[in-house]
Amino acid sequence: MKLRDADGLSFSVPIDYVVKIVEHFKKNGRVVRPWLGLKMLDLNPMVIAQLKERSSSFPDVSKGVLVPMVTPGSPAERAGFAPGDVVTEFDGKPVETIKEIIGIMGDKVGVPFKVLVKRANNVPVTLTVTPEEADASR
């Protein structure tokens, strides 16, 4: 799509996103998105090194998704997530990015997912989280 009066500026939306949105509208009359109540950060070697420098108890991971914040009253809080958790598996699949977690969840609201996290001092914990439908007012 090109924008009028925006010389040379254009953007596109991948067709697979458009197809999913159209399917949601046909099925529900709206777009359904799952919500966990987690702030997440993709880990990379530089971030991991900085976190290990700050705290020797930071989990010994080379990849994963850091949870710096858990929303009070959210599905994630009820499941037992805690700030500092590092998600290493979601629904039995290894994850390295937030995008992978979002892809695994898809549009599944009310469906429980098993999540493997590593906590301080390399303590592994398996949690079960059930996403709720995202509310635009949150």
Is residue 102 in a domain? yes
CATH number of the domain enclosing 96: 2.30.42.10
**Could you tell me the residue range of the domain that residue 97 belongs to?**
34-132
Is residue 4 in a domain? no
DSSP code per residue over 90-131: ETTEE--SHHHHHHHHTT--S--EEEEEEEGGGEEEEEEE-P
87 by Cβ neighbours in 10 Å (0-12 / 13-18 / 19+) ranks as buried
The model's pLDDT over 109-120, given as tens digits with 9 standing for 90+, comes to 999 999 999 999
Q: How confident is the model at residue 10 (pLDDT cuts 50, 70, 90)?
A: low
Is residue 28 in a domain? no
Domains identified in the chain, total number: 1
Q: What is the mean pLDDT of the chain?
A: 90
Q: What is the pLDDT of residue 68?
A: 96
Residue owning tokens 């999540």: 115
The model's pLDDT over 17-66, given as tens digits with 9 standing for 90+, comes to 788 888 878 887 887 789 999 999 999 999 999 999 999 999 999 999 99
Is residue 64 in a domain? yes
Is residue 1 in a domain? no
